[in-house]
Amino acid sequence: MGPGARGSEPPKPWGLRVPHNVWAISITSLFSDWSYEMLLPIIPFFLSIDLGASPLVVGLVEGVAVFAQSMVQFVSGSRLAHRANRQAAGTAGYATTTTAHGLISLATAWPYAACLRVLAWGARGERQPIKRVILSEAAQTMGAGRAFGLEQTFDSLGAIAGTISAAYVVITNGVGGFRSIFVLSVIPGIVAVLLFYRYVHDRPVRTNEELRRSNGAAPPFPSRFRWYLVASGIFGLAFFNILLGLLRVGTALTGAPGAGVTGAIVVSLFAYLLYNLVYTGMAYPAGILADRFPRTGLVAVSYLLFVPVDVLFITAPGIFGAFLAFLVAGIQVSLLDVAESAWISRAVTSDSVGRAFGWFGGVRGTTSLVGSVAVGAIWTAYSAPPAFLVSAVLAVVAAGMMIPVALAKEPPTLPPTTS
C-alpha cells in the first residue's frame, strides 16, 4: 500500500443535503445522455445499413472511439482536472461532442462517420475526469458511492429519454429516419452545454504547477491501485462495446418470421431501453452498496455478471433472450460504473484523483478497443458464438485477478495533501 491512499470513508448519515454541484452535474448528465443516447443505439444500424459497414468495421469504429476517449481522458486527468479554470475545458468538451454527433447526419461513407464519432468521444474524454473530480470534491459531505450513484441515475434517465426519442423516430419513419435522429440530438446537447457552463460552480484549486512546486514529482499510485489497473485491463479485453450486442440482437431477429429489418431494430431499441431502465433503477442502490460493502468486491461481482450476457449473445437470441441479455447487462454495468468510480475517487490522495481517473480511462479504453475489434473480427471471420465465448472467458479471468484486491485490507482514510 502506498502512502496517502484513502479507503472507504466512514458511512454518512441519511438525510444529508445533496451538495449543489452534485445536483448540477447530475442534471447536466441527464441532458448530455439524452443527446448522445438518441444516436448511440442507432449507430451500428446506420453504419451497416446506410453506409455498408461490416461487424468488424462497427467494432473498429466504436473501439477507436472509446480508445480516443480514453487517451484524451488520460491527458485531461493529468493536465486539466487540476487547473485554475476547469469549467471552460468541460464546457468545450460538451459542446464538441454535441456538434460532432450532429454532423454525422451529413456522412455519406463510414470513414467520415467514424472520424466524427471519434472526435465526439474524444471530447467526452476531455470532460469526464473534470466532471468526476468536481463531483468527488462535492461529495465530501456525503458518501462517494451515493454521489456517483445519483449522478449515474440522472445519466441513465437521459439515456431512457434518448432511446425513447430514437425509437419514436424509427417507428414513424423506418430506417429512413436515422439521419434526423443525429440532427435532433443537438437540442438536448445544447441544454447540457448551457447547464454545465452556468450552474456547475468550480472552485479555486491548486494547479498542476503549484502541485509540482509543493509536492515535487507526482507520487506513485498505491500498489492496490496499480494491481486494480491490471485486472481492469483484462476485463477491458472482454468488455466489448454494447453496440455490438445491439447488432447481434438485430441481425438475429432480422431472420425471424414476420420481423423484417425495421421490426428487428425496434425490438433492439426496446431491449436497449430496458437496459437503461434497469441501469436507472440500480444506480443509486449500487451507490448505497458501494458505501457499505467493499467496492472492489462489488467490481469483481460485476465482472462475473458479464458472463451470462455473453452466454445469451452466444445463442441467436430471440425476443426473450434479447431482453434478458440487456436486463442483466443493465444490472452489471450500473454496479460496475458506480463501484469503480467510488473506489477510484477514494483510493488515492485528493490531488491525484484526476490522474487516477485518467490512468484508469487510458487502460480501460485501450483494452476495450482491442476487445471490441477482436469480437468484431472473430464474428466477421467465423461467426458470433466464438467471439462472445472469448469475451466470457476473459471476464472470468479478470474477476479472479480482482480477488486479491477485494480481500486486501482497506487502506486508512487520510486527509488530502496540503501545500
Please provide the DSSP assignment of 65-128 as one string.
HHHHHHHHHHHHHHHTSSSS-HHHHHHHHHHHHHHHHHHGGG-SSHHHHHHHHHHHHHHHHHHH
Three cell numbers written together for 163: 432511446
Of 154, 130, 134, 137, the residue nearest 361 (C-alpha): 130
Of 204, 78, 68, 69, the residue nearest 134 (C-alpha): 204
The answer to whether 267 and 259 have CB atoms below 8 angstroms apart is: yes
Residue 214 lies in a domain: no
Range of the domain at 139: 20-201+221-407
Three cell numbers written together for 214: 509543493
Helix, strand, coil share (%) of the chain residues, nearest 5:
80, 0, 20
What is the Cα–Cα distance from 250 to 243, expressed in whole angstroms? 10
Q: Is 382 helix (H, G, I), strand (E, B) or coil?
A: coil
Three cell numbers written together for 8: 472507504
Of 240, 231, 230, the residue nearest 371 (C-alpha): 240
Quick one: pLDDT at residue 45?
87
Residue 13 lies in a domain: no
Residue 356 lies in a domain: yes
Quick one: pLDDT at residue 190?
95
Number of domains composing the chain: 1
The answer to whether 152 and 337 have CB atoms below 8 angstroms apart is: yes
Residue 10 lies in a domain: no
Please provide the DSSP assignment of 336-372 as one string.
HHHHHHHHHHHHS-GGGHHHHHHHHHHHHHHHHHHHH
Of 67, 63, 117, the residue nearest 365 (C-alpha): 67
Residue 345 lies in a domain: yes
Of 348, 268, 322, the residue nearest 6 (C-alpha): 348
Three cell numbers written together for 309: 450476457
Cβ count within 10 A of residue 14: 8
Residue 253 lies in a domain: yes
H and E: helices and strands count for the chain? 16, 0
CA distances from 221 to 186, 352, 360 (A): 39, 8, 12
**Parts of the chain with a pLDDT under 70:** 1-16, 77-84, 141-142, 203-219, 255-260, 408-419
CA distances from 116 to 92, 110, 123, 145 (A): 16, 10, 11, 34
At 397, which CATH number? 1.20.1250.20
Residue 267 lies in a domain: yes
Three cell numbers written together for 215: 509536492
Quick one: pLDDT at residue 115?
93
Residue 380 lies in a domain: yes
